[in-house]
Amino acid sequence: MSFFATRVGTDIAAAVPLVGHGLVRFMRGGDDVTGATLTRLFGFHVAVLPAIATGLVGLHLLLVQRHGMSVPPSIERRTAADPAAVRAMPFMPHFLSRDLFAWTMVLAALAALATFYPWELGTKADPFAPAPAGIRPEWYFLWAFEALKHVPPTIGGINGELVAVIIMGGGAVAALLLPFMAGHTDRTRRVIVWAGATALAFMAIMTGLALAGATP
């Protein structure tokens, strides 16, 4: 399942104009999914992605220290009226100690699961065999998997799946850039809340449809 899921997942990058073939080779370490692909993905997961995540966490902490925590508008109004009515916690050492404790507990639980319930490798994949029936991504990607099924083949003369992937990617980028957009009015905040609620409802509906159509 992992072999064919990796092949199908990396094939999506081939739809990107001009650089699609290069992206596929970059992710696979060659033209097909081989041992080089496993080595490359392992390197990404244990070195590149953690380094990026560490940098993003550092940037997040820096922005929190400079601008403070984001709070709901109702809390902001209450703070303006009576600053003493809102609880506050110093970052050092109280907030940091609490986060480190939670991080340690999660790491201990993960280590226990990996030790006592290790995941087996399963049957070796046959590159020449057809993809298993009913192959699908993990539950957190089911909504995108199902949404692509309902996209028409072409939209305005462009590949429909490519348009859908661009829209999904644009939504993710917009969500990441949202904290950096200053000057939100109450009306803008309401629009953002409704947009977020609509996106979550869409994801829930698509996930439900994918689960309902799953092969028992």
Least reliable range by pLDDT among 123-127, 131-135, 173-177, 205-209:
131-135
The percent of residues in the chain predicted with pLDDT above 90, rounded, is 19
6 within a domain of the structure (yes/no): no
101 within a domain of the structure (yes/no): no
For 143-200, write each residue's pLDDT tens digit.
Answer: 888 888 888 888 888 878 778 888 888 888 888 888 777 666 777 878 888 988 999 9
Least reliable range by pLDDT among 99-103, 107-111, 178-182:
178-182
**Residues 1, 119: Cα–Cα separation, whole Å:** 14
How many separate domains does the chain show?
A: 1
- Among 155, 196, 179, 188, CA closest to 69: 179
Residue 8 pLDDT > 50: yes
Residue 215 pLDDT > 50: no
- What is the pLDDT confidence band of residue 83, given thresholds at 50, 70 and 90? low
23 within a domain of the structure (yes/no): no
48 within a domain of the structure (yes/no): no
For all residues of the chain together, what is the average pLDDT? 83
Q: Which helix (H) or strand (E) holds 35?
A: helix 35-43
Residue 142 pLDDT > 60: yes
Contact 142, 206 (CB under 8 A): yes
190 within a domain of the structure (yes/no): yes
pLDDT, residue 184, reads 64
156 within a domain of the structure (yes/no): yes
pLDDT, residue 86, reads 66
pLDDT, residue 214, reads 59
pTM of the prediction?
0.63
Residues 6+ apart with CB under 8 A from 175: none
pLDDT, residue 95, reads 80
203 within a domain of the structure (yes/no): yes
213 within a domain of the structure (yes/no): yes
Residue 54 pLDDT > 60: yes
Q: Show the domain range for 211.
A: 136-216
- Give the CA count within 13 Å in the CB-facing half-sphere of 157: 0
- What is the pLDDT confidence band of residue 108, given thresholds at 50, 70 and 90? very high
Exposed / middle / buried, residue 121 (Cβ in 10 Å: 0-12, 13-18, 19+): exposed
pLDDT, residue 85, reads 63
